Structure 1
Amino acid sequence: MEEAERIASDGRPKADHLCVLIHGLWGNPKHMAYVASALRDKHAEDKLHILIAKTNSDTYTYDGIDLGAERVTHEIETCISDLEKEGSHISKLSIVGYSLGGLVARYAIGLLFSNGWFDRLEPVNFTTFATPHLGVRAPVLGIHHRVWNVLGSQTLSASGRQLFTIDIFRNTNRPLLSILADPDSIFMLALSRFKHRVLYANIINDRSAPYYTTCIVTTDPYVNLDQININHLQGYAPVVLNPANPVSLKAPDAQPPLMTRIAESSHALLSRVPLFAFLAVLIPIGSVVFLINSGVQTVRSQKRIRLHEEGKAGIGLGNYRIPLMVENARTTMESAFANINAGQRQQYLPPAKRTLSSKSSESDENQNGSIEKSPLPEPGHKHTSSSQSAEFPTLALTPEQFAMVKALDDLGFRKYRVHIQKVRHTHAAIIVRVQKKDFDEGEVVVRHWLEEEFEV
């Protein structure tokens, strides 16, 4: 609202377009400061209002995607009302979600749609950066699945259960993320109304939200960079990949000899010995502190959730507890978590099970239907699989995740893969979450978004 007050007092024509920025897990409005600043540098105050959502800050993000979205929706509605009292007429809406904020955004637009806002607002841009659209369940089989995916889900209260898709959402008997991607839900109907649907995903070293979930794909060609050619987008190299042809396999004779690869791997390993030694001490301590803190915050989160459910949190619950399906359809300690999460190596389906899963969406590389600049594929559009589909094994996703991929791909996203190389953990760098020199590759990502994708 400070932004709105400044615009209202300078005498210039008032903008009719509101852009909402939503931060991620453990986040706060400062995390979106660079994105907001870049937006303002590109678009003047008489062209665009900017709202950085703040009602979901810090440990409030533990309380669940749905509860967080209800808070943000209330914040958006209040902002529009206040702007219009000051003389603005808001007719356009854009939403930008970072990390968990992208899931909160997907839920919030469903609430806005259901409450009739899309009858008077034009949905223009929907963008996510490093958002775990398929959740954060590690694609692993056997005992690793039981240990990590169950244990990890218990550390973040309601949000953790939803991110690991072990929750049963209200009376649906399904996980929340499954409902978010159901073609018959208000959330998908709302998403389909946006003129531009775009996502940015780190291809490597995102320990919080791996590539497969942020890019909504079933394979990961970037596990071994020595075996592939990465094709960058002209003007944004070497950070943003060419969406029309992001990756190709190297010819067998172009790959380094076995001994060379072993030597390079050994050298890389030895260079990280001091880091491993440091982490060997830090991670156990950090993990214990993280788990203790998570227990405390979970108790606090449950109390907030209970007050919210009882209507004692200052938000009119009746405005947001609406039918989830359209008519006729079925009714910090972040680093400790990230390091544990990153330790779960991806596993793949046995060859006999890959055919069915690949049909659900091999949207991986070279699927022009989801990456062409314009127009976006219409709902129901069928993508054709790349010839590379069989060359990269299918990840061990759950049936719900395969269904999410298919539904979201059928709806259509333009997907931009991001190759950040200067930092070991790329999750924060993709939006320049803090101002530091090593995050300058994220500035290229934001510049691409503003120059090529964001419409006022």
Structure 2
Amino acid sequence: MAPLNMEDYMGGAPGAEHLCVLVHGLWGNPKHMASLARALRAQFPPEQVHILVAKRNSGSFTYDGIELGGERVCTEIEEKLELIRSRGERITKLSVVGYSLGGLVARYAIGLLLARGVLDDLECMNFTAFASPFLGVRTPLRGWANHMWNVLGARTLCMSGRQLFGIDRFRDTGKPLLAVLADPNSIFMRALARFRRRTLYANIVNDRSAVYYTTAISATDPYATLFAADSNHVANRVRYLPGYEPIILDPEEPILPPPEQPPENEASPFTMRLSRWAKRVPFVLVLTLLVPVGVVTFLVNSAIQTIRSHRRVKLHESGRAGINVEDYRVNLWFKEMRSAVEGAYEELNSAQENEFLDEGGGTVTPSKGDESLLDADRKQQRENDSEVNPETRPLLSRESTAGGDNLYQTLALAPYQFDAIRALDKLGWRKYPVWIHKHRHSHAAIIVRIEKPAFDEGKVVLKHWVTEEFLT
């Protein structure tokens, strides 16, 4: 099948007053957003919507971090608005769409637009995220596995990796950038609150880059538990959104209550525990077999990209990369002023398995060597654990409790992640769980990142977005 031509969907015609900006993800490029652009253009003609696909963060440039990426996207938006004005036309409405890491970059960019006064003259319409890791990509694990992946993995993706795993300290805040992005007093949250509609689409299975809990802004992952405990009967336990079967689940009641009589072949607790440990075997094997070759290659490439990224960041900070960086180093606060690489990464990331807090709301204790990741005091952790639990979960999402199930155990998240859940959910989101069946790379299929039949289920998601969610 011939690749999509981005130029067929870019831009807009005189009279179009609505600008929609598409932002790709890690390791991505503008072509990854071609299917989104085509779906948008099929629904809205050039006279109605102007489409801009951000391009300055292509490829390895996504290693440079959310801050630098957001500044680049902000610059592109401002340049596009100025170009349209220079033609005697005007933009009155703005929508922003982020895919994967692009969702975080987009959140940073709109904060800058607000601080610079750009949003004052625009009606903010849609903020949409497809498989975006709002809470980062830190695996909810304790002990050695946490140390192995969350600490080592964070150091293989340059600044973006440090920020996604929450081990960075952003400027003089002493906090991870993800925490700053979700601070209620920040320009980023104020900008996000301006949009009339906030929508997210989250894969429930097989997303090797960004799992459900982070893309759905949730302290639980009921689908991971459901697939692990009853994989042969999951289809009988989910409810689909009418007209979008069997891809998009009904956000009001995605999981049906369990049957009164358990299946005859229900696994015993011992078998389930054995199965759980068996699923960790591939991770151990990957480490054992790939260390001599694959991991060495992966780490060498990471080192090279880190050096290149450092040079780009240094060039950017000096103002020699085409952007006057001082224009974008704005105050972050409102109420108060406060001083084959992708494959290797995804396979290792997907080998991790979530762990949970104790049923009684126990605390998460940092493992040795991981204090930088979980540095909040134990009192704050206890407050987080008691406030975000299965009983208060309906306040954080629109999922059904599917009574009788133990599907909503609180994940072993870090304190800043619990804080982010509470703050982001207060804004109100329309959350849609997505089940991609045909391909195990659901992270790419959800937006039809490549035009091929195995990704066609993603077209159902895009159809729902443009016909049911996108406000004009």
TM-score (norm 2): 0.85
Identify if the C-alpha distance between structure 1 residues 418 and 262 changes in structure 2 by more than 3 Å, giving closer, same or farther. farther
The alpha carbon displacement at 1:94 in A equals: 0.3
Gaps of 5+ in 1: 373-383
Larger mean Cα displacement after TM superposition, 216-225 or 72-81? 216-225
Aligned residues: 437
Which amino acid is 1:31 matched to?
Answer: H
Please name the residue that 1:86 is paired with.
Answer: 87
| 1:289-337: CA deviation from partner (whole Å, max 9, x where unpaired) | 2221111011000011111111111101121100111143545421110
Which amino acid is 1:96 matched to?
Answer: V
Which amino acid is 1:403 matched to?
Answer: D
Please name the residue that 1:168 is paired with.
Answer: 169
Identify if the C-alpha distance between structure 1 residues 392 and 7 changes in structure 2 by more than 3 Å, giving closer, same or farther. closer
Distance 1:390 1:188 in 2: 33
SS of equivalent residue, structure 2 residue 443:
coil
The alpha carbon displacement at 1:279 in A equals: 11
Please name the residue that 1:340 is paired with.
Answer: 348
Preserved CA contact (<8 Å) 2:388 2:410: no
Distance 2:244 2:88 in 1: 39
Distance 2:345 2:65 in 1: 17
Distance 2:414 2:273 in 1: 32
Preserved CA contact (<8 Å) 2:16 2:49: yes
1:294 to 278, 292, 302: 302
SS of equivalent residue, structure 1 residue 125:
strand
Which amino acid is 1:56 matched to?
Answer: N
Distance 1:62 1:452 in 2: 34
Distance 2:77 2:335 in 1: 26
Matches within 5 A, 1:409-424: 409-424=425-440
Identify if the C-alpha distance between structure 1 residues 239 and 94 changes in structure 2 by more than 3 Å, giving closer, same or farther. same
Please name the residue that 1:379 is paired with.
Answer: none
SS of equivalent residue, structure 2 residue 206:
coil
Indicate whether 1:158 and 2:166 are aligned.
Answer: no
Preserved CA contact (<8 Å) 1:307 1:313: yes
Aligned residues: CA RMSD: 3.2
Distance 1:390 1:6 in 2: 49
Please name the residue that 1:57 is paired with.
Answer: 58
The alpha carbon displacement at 1:353 in A equals: 2.4
Which amino acid is 2:20 matched to?
Answer: C
Distance 1:81 1:126 in 2: 22
Matches within 5 A, 1:71-110: 71-110=72-111
SS of equivalent residue, structure 2 residue 298:
helix
SS of equivalent residue, structure 2 residue 300:
helix
Which amino acid is 2:131 matched to?
Answer: A
The alpha carbon displacement at 1:266 in A equals: 12
The alpha carbon displacement at 1:145 in A equals: 1.3
TM-score (norm 1): 0.88
Distance 2:328 2:404 in 1: 44
Distance 1:364 1:86 in 2: 55
Distance 1:321 1:389 in 2: 48
Which amino acid is 1:428 matched to?
Answer: A
Distance 1:337 1:72 in 2: 25
Please name the residue that 1:350 is paired with.
Answer: 358
Please name the residue that 1:187 is paired with.
Answer: 188
Please name the residue that 1:258 is paired with.
Answer: 266
Distance 1:388 1:259 in 2: 17
Distance 1:444 1:302 in 2: 40
Matches within 5 A, 1:1-20: 7-8=12-13, 13-20=14-21
SS of equivalent residue, structure 1 residue 159:
helix
Identify if the C-alpha distance between structure 1 residues 252 and 42 changes in structure 2 by more than 3 Å, giving closer, same or farther. same
Gaps of 5+ in 2: 1-5, 363-381
Preserved CA contact (<8 Å) 1:3 1:50: no
Distance 2:183 2:441 in 1: 32
Preserved CA contact (<8 Å) 2:204 2:434: yes
Which amino acid is 2:331 matched to?
Answer: P
The alpha carbon displacement at 1:2 in A equals: 5.8
Which amino acid is 2:117 matched to?
Answer: G
SS of equivalent residue, structure 1 residue 128:
strand
Identify if the C-alpha distance between structure 1 residues 78 and 350 changes in structure 2 by more than 3 Å, giving closer, same or farther. same
Preserved CA contact (<8 Å) 2:29 2:58: yes
Preserved CA contact (<8 Å) 2:11 2:50: no
Distance 1:266 1:353 in 2: 25
Larger mean Cα displacement after TM superposition, 441-450 or 344-353? 344-353
Distance 1:338 1:282 in 2: 14
